[in-house]
Chains A and B, each alone.
Chain A
Amino acid sequence: EPEVTQTPSHQVTQMGQEVILRCVPISNHLYFYWYRQILGQKVEFLVSFYNNEISEKSEIFDDQFSVERPDGSNFTLKIRSTKLEDSAMYFCASKTSGIYNEQFFGPGTRLTVL
């Protein structure tokens, strides 16, 4: 069964460093998302991406964040200068067209900022 994959599973970085989290969505999906979950808190929406542009972003998704679909398969989340509060589990999700269809989630990348 097709699945969303994410790499790395765990990333440790120093505060102020740039990180890129990678996701490979399911191949025929058209809508792509990033969510994050700070330890002990709820899963929060960051950004949605469709037709090579951001369709919606949350207030969390400030200028330090960016997303890109550099080729036909990868979908990346970049944090330019990481802060301690960026430590969280980051989930990528994708879905097909159709308003009834659900989002499929990857296993997540745990980001630890020291």
Chain B
Amino acid sequence: AQSVTQLGSHVSVSEGALVLLRCNYSSSVPPYLFWYVQYPNQGLQLLLKYTTGATLVKGINGFEAEFKKSETSFHLTKPSAHMSDAAEYFCAVTKTFSGGYNKLIFGAGTRLAVHP
């Protein structure tokens, strides 16, 4: 079975500081990994995804994540936080080789607060 663990339900950073949101996954097959962001009263928006190829993936709004198979991790980073980054971030995993209708398994989410 697949699962996702996000360390830290709340993370607070200063504007301009490094953002690091942690995600570890468990999967018996090679995973596809995603980070979604949820702004207040909005749906889930894809930030970035890892499927195959380069393990460092870049997404929207200056975010990037690195797939580390040996550590079963897919941590999300941004060099310099902006006030507009305040939101809830979800890491998700899905199975490869399971057909086009793969369900997403989500982590519990990390709420990012950015203060001046």
Contact = CB atoms under 8 A, between A and B. Distances in A.
Interface of B: 32, 34, 36, 41-46, 49, 51-52, 90, 92, 96-97, 99-109
Interface of A: 4, 6, 30-31, 33, 35, 41-45, 48-50, 55-56, 58, 91, 93, 95, 97-108
B108 A56 contact: no
22 contacts: A4-B43, A31-B101, A42-B109, A43-B44, A43-B92, A43-B104, A44-B106, A45-B104, A45-B105, A49-B101, A50-B101, A55-B101, A56-B103, A98-B100, A99-B96, A99-B97, A99-B99, A99-B100, A102-B46, A105-B36, A105-B45, A106-B43
Given A102-B34, A102-B49, A107-B41, A42 B99 contact: no
Is chain B's binding surface mostly helix, strand, loop or mixed?
A: loop
Contacts of B109: 42-43
B101 A56 contact: yes
A99 B49 CA distance: 12
A11 to B, nearest CB: 15
Nearest to A97: B100
Contacts of A95: 100
A95 B90 CA distance: 18
